Each structure stands twice: as C-alpha cells, then as structure tokens.
Amino acid sequence: MIIHFHTRFVKMRAKLSASVQEQCNTRIALFMHEPFNPVLYNHVLTGKYAGYRSINITGSYRAHFKVVGENEIVFVRVGTHPQLYGE
C-alpha cells in the first residue's frame, strides 16, 4: 500500500500534542498492515465528506483519507471530531 500525506494533513498533525502524534503514527502503521482492524473503525463518510473514509486515532481524534488508486491512499485531515465536523 502506498500512503501519501496531503500538506493540510501534515500541518494539522504538526499542531497535535506529541502523544497524539505518536498515536497517529502508530494507527497509520496499523492501517498499512491491516486497514480494517476493528480498533481503527475504518468507515465511509457521508455528506460534505462523501468519497472519503475515516479511521480512529484516539478516542476523540480521527484521520480522514481518500482512496486514489488501486493500492494508493492520501491522508487529508486529522483532528478531533468537532474540529473535523464543525460541531
């Protein structure tokens, strides 16, 4: 699997605490080997994020990504549920 990180994702991840950044790296590594591991809660998004998917990073942090090729993923955003969904 080829994973790319959108510039927006890189900037958003840089603003996270060190512990959340470490957890983000851990979850993305898990995603690379087992994208549908139940702990990731990999699911389709709807509404304004239709066409994207989301995985859990921590209890309140999520990462959005898009499948762009047969074996290619682009992570585009990371943040808390309210940050990502505007709640």
pLDDT at residue 87, rounded to an integer: 61
The helix-helix angle for 18-33 and 7-14 (nearest 10°) equals 140
> What is d(CA 2, CA 61) in angstroms, rounded to the nearest whole number?
23
**pTM summary value:** 0.91
pLDDT 10s digits, 6-62:
999 999 999 999 999 999 999 999 999 999 999 999 999 999 899 999 999 998 999
What are the chain's domains? 2-85 (3.30.2310.20)
Three-class SS of residue 43?
A: strand
pLDDT at residue 11, rounded to an integer: 96
Q: What is the mean pLDDT of residues 63-86?
A: 92
